[in-house]
Chains A and B, each alone.
Chain A
C-alpha cells in the first residue's frame, strides 16, 4: 500500500465527521423533543415516546438504514441519496438513545428537589428548566459523550451503501491491492484517534462542570 492510499483513507475522516456531526445535531433535537413527550402529562404523547424508543432500540441500525434507503424511492418516488438516508437513520436511531439518556438524567435528580420546587409553587415547566435540568446535566453529559462516540463508530455502516467514509475507502484500497491488514488498520487508527480526541475534550468539559 502506497502513501497515496493512506491519504485517500484518511480523507474519509471528513466524510465520517459530517455524518456524525449532522446526525448528532438532529439526534439531539429529536431526542430532547421525544423526552419531553415522555415527560408530558398527555397519555398519547407518552405512548408515542415509549413506542419510538422501543422500535429504534429494538431493531438493528443496519436494518433501519436499509429500510430508509431502499424503500423510500418505492414508497414516495423520491430518489433518496446515500447521505440523506444515512443522516435520517443515524439521527432517528441516536434520538432513541438520547431520549433514554435524558430520562435517566432527570430521574437521577433527588425526589426532594421536585418536592421543594412544588412546595414553593413553581410550575412544572420552571421546575424542569431551572431546578431539575441543571442538576440532571451532570449525569446527562458523560452519557451523551458516550453516545457521540458510539455514533461516530457506527457511521461505518454507511460504507455498506457506498458512502465514501473511512471504512468504505479502506475497503476500496483492500480490493484494489488485494491487501487487507494495512488499509483496515489505517481505518482503525483513524477512528481511534478521533475517539480519543473527542473523549479527552468531553472529560475536560465534565471537569469544568464539576467545578461550577
Chain B
C-alpha cells in the first residue's frame, strides 16, 4: 500500500508537482500518462526518494518515507529505468545476484538459483555469462527487470521502460512486464505505450503541469476522457 499526501516538488522555483494525493493498494497496476514535462517521471522518482519532495508525505506500508529509512524501503520498492543502468563491469548473472547477496544475505548458490529462474522468466537463459555491452537494448531491459525482481520487491516503479528501445524490441519488454501484472506486485508504470497501458492497467492517472487531471479505469479513460486536456492529448497520440 502506497499513500502520497500533499506532495509538492519544484525545480528552481518551477513547480513540477502540485499537491498530489494518491493511494495505491497492494497489487494494483497503475499507469501514469501525460505529455512530456508533465511531472510523471518526477512523481515516480519521489516515491523512492531519487528526488526529494519539497512538501508532503509518502507512506509505504504504514511507514513514512524519510532519509533515515529510505535504504530499507528501497529494498522492497524496485525500479526499472529508461536507460537500464545495468552495471557494465558485471556479467548478467552478477548483475542479478549482487544485491540479494550483499543486502538480503543470500548465499552464492541461493542467489544463483534465483537468478537463473528469473533469467528463464525473462527469456534469457543462455545469457548469464554475457557482459551488458554484448546485449541488445531489449535484452538489457529484461535483465534489469530480472535484477529488480531478484530483491523480491513489493512494488516496482517502471520509468519509461521502453522509451530508449528500438521499435522492434519494445514488445519483448512489454510482454515481460505484462507477465508480472496481477501477481501481487504493485506496479506503477510511466509509459507512452497507450495500447499497453489500456491492456495491462487497473487504473490510469493522467497528469499535466504537475496535477492529476484524471484518475480512472483504462476503459473510461480511453473511451471517454473527462478533461479537455486529456481529450486533446489522446487525439494526438492515438
Interface, chain A (partner B; CB < 8 A) = 110, 112-113, 115-116, 118-123, 126, 130-131, 134-135
Contact = CB atoms under 8 A, between A and B. Distances in A.
Nearest to B147: A120
B98 interface: yes
Given A112-B81, A120-B75, A121-B74, A134 B89 contact: yes
A119 B48 contact: yes
Contacts, number: 53
Contact of B50 (A115, A134, A135): A115
Query: What is the interface of chain A mostly: helix, strand, loop, or mixed?
Result: helix
B99 A121 contact: yes
B79 interface: yes
Contacts of B71: 121-123
B78 interface: yes
B25 interface: no
B72 interface: yes
A131 B73 CA distance: 20
Contacts of A123: 71
A122 B102 contact: yes
Nearest to B71: A121
Given A112-B81, A112-B83, A115-B81, A120 B89 contact: no
A135 B88 contact: yes
B238 interface: no
B85 A115 contact: yes
Interface string B66-102: 0000011111011101010111110000000011001
Interface of B: 48, 50, 71-75, 77-79, 81, 83, 85-89, 98-99, 102-103, 147-148, 151
Contacts of B88: 135
A210 to B, nearest CB: 12
Contacts of B103: 120-122
A135 B86 CA distance: 12
Given A122-B103, A126-B102, A116 B87 contact: yes
A120 B74 contact: yes
Contacts of A134: 89
Nearest to B77: A119
A113 B85 contact: yes
A119 B102 contact: no
Contacts of B79: 115-116, 119
B94 to A, nearest CB: 10
Nearest to A123: B71
Contacts of B75: 120-121
B137 to A, nearest CB: 14
